Structure 1
Amino acid sequence: METFGASRRLLAEGLGTALLLAVVVGSGIMGERLAGGNLALALLGNTLATGAALVVLIWVFGPISGAHFNPVVTLVAVLRREMPWRLALAYGAAQAAGAVLGVWTAHAMFGEPVLQVSTRLRDGGAQAVSEVVATFGLVATILGTARFRPQSTPMAVGLYITAAYWFTASTAFANPAVTLARSLSDTFAGIAPSSVPAFILAQVVGALLAAGVFGWLLEAEKTA
C-alpha cells in the first residue's frame, strides 16, 4: 500500500472537507429553490446529494489521508493509537479550514453573499440527543466496517448518513467541522452560532461512547 507524506494528507483532508461542505450547502440551496416550499422535498435533495458525495469523496481521498473529514473521527483514531496527536491537530485545522472554504464556495456558486452568519436556531435537548446518536452511529459504522469489511466503508458511511438525515431530529451533522462551517451559512443547511456548542459537545460524547463500546465489542477473545 502506498504511503503519503503529511503535507499531502493534510491537503487531502482540507480539500475533501471543502468539497463535502460545498455539496451539503450547495444542495441545500438548490433543493430549497426548486422545492417550492416543500421542506421534505428540499431535505430529500440535500440528503441524496450528501450521501452520494460522501461515498465518492471517501473513495477518492481515503487512500491518501483516510478521508476523515471530521475532527471526532480523527479523535477516535488518536484514542485507538492509529495517529499521533500532532498530526491529528493538523488534521483538525485542515478540516475546519476546508469546511469554511466549502461553504464560501457554495455561496459563490449560487450567487449568495459569501460571508454570512446563520440565524437558523437548532436548540433543545432533542437536538443534542440526536447528535449523540448520529455521531455514535457514524463512528460505529466506520469502526465496524474497517474491522470486517474495509472495502465497504465508503458505501456504508454514505448510506448511514443518508438514513441519519431522516431518523434524527437534527438531520445528523455528526461533525464539529461541518457544524462550525454551517454556522457561516444563513441557508437551508445553516445552524445559528448559539446552537453550535451544544451540537459539538454532543458529537464528542457520541464519538467517545462509540469508541468505548466498539473498542470492547470488536476485540476478539483469546482462546487457550
Structure 2
Amino acid sequence: MALATDAAVKPTASGLRTGCCVQVIGQENEASSRRLLGQLQKVDSKVLLLNGQTVFVEVARVQAPKDLRKPIEGGDEASFDMLLGPQTSDAVLAEEMSACLFEKGFCVLKVCQSLTDTARAVEVLHALGEDGTLGRLPEEVEEGYLGSCGRGKVMWLDPDKLETVHHQVLRACDQNLSYLASVLQPCSSDALGAAIDERTPALVSLSFDSDEEEDYPQPVADDKLLGDFLGTWRRGLVRVIHFL
C-alpha cells in the first residue's frame, strides 16, 4: 500500500494522463454497469481500482470520470479531493493538498488499497487488543486525540516494533503518513501559515465492540501525559486521519 511517486505526468495514447483518476465503463452485456473508479497506470489499458485490484481493459472503456464532485462542492459522503496510487505525482499532490487546506481547511484523499490488506490489518489490531497491547486513553484527552465522541482501544505506533509480516499493512500506513508530510512540507508555509518541521508518532485506534468498553477502564491522566497532549495540540498544523 506504500505510495511510489512519479514526477513526470505524461499523457497516454487516450489523451488521459498517467496517474489521473479514471472510470472504467462496463460492457453492454455485463449484468452490472456501475462505474468503477481507479488510477490510470503507464499503459492505457491498465487501471488500479480503488479496491487495490489491477484490471486490464480496452482503451475505449477507460475515460475521465463524469460528475465526480468533491467534498462540500456537491459531492456525497464517499467523495474525495484526489486519488492516491502508485503513479501519483508529488507536485500534483502537493498542489491539491495545499489548495484544499488553504481554501476549505481540509483535504480528503482516497487511497487505492487492497480489501484483503485492510482486513488483515484489522485482524492484527484485534489480536493486539486480545493480548493486552491496546489500551484506553484518559478521559481528559481521549476526544482530543480521537475526535468528538471518539472512543476506542489505542496504541502509539512504533514502526521499529512492527517486525512480522502481519504488521506490514500498519507499517505501510505509517510510511504513507510520512510521505504526505514530506510532500506538503515545501508549500506548508503558504498553505498553513507556518512550516512543517516534524510529525508526531501515529496513534492507532480500534473501535470498541458493543459489549467490551467496560473492559477498558480509563487510566488517570498524569502531568506528563497532559503536557504532551497540550504541547502537541498547540504546535499542530495538520492532523491526518487514515481510515482502514
* Greater length-normalized contact order (CA 8 Å, ≥ 6 residues apart): 1
Higher fraction of helix: 1
TM value normalised by structure 2: 0.26
Larger Rg over CA atoms: 2
Higher fraction of strand: 2
TM value normalised by structure 1: 0.28
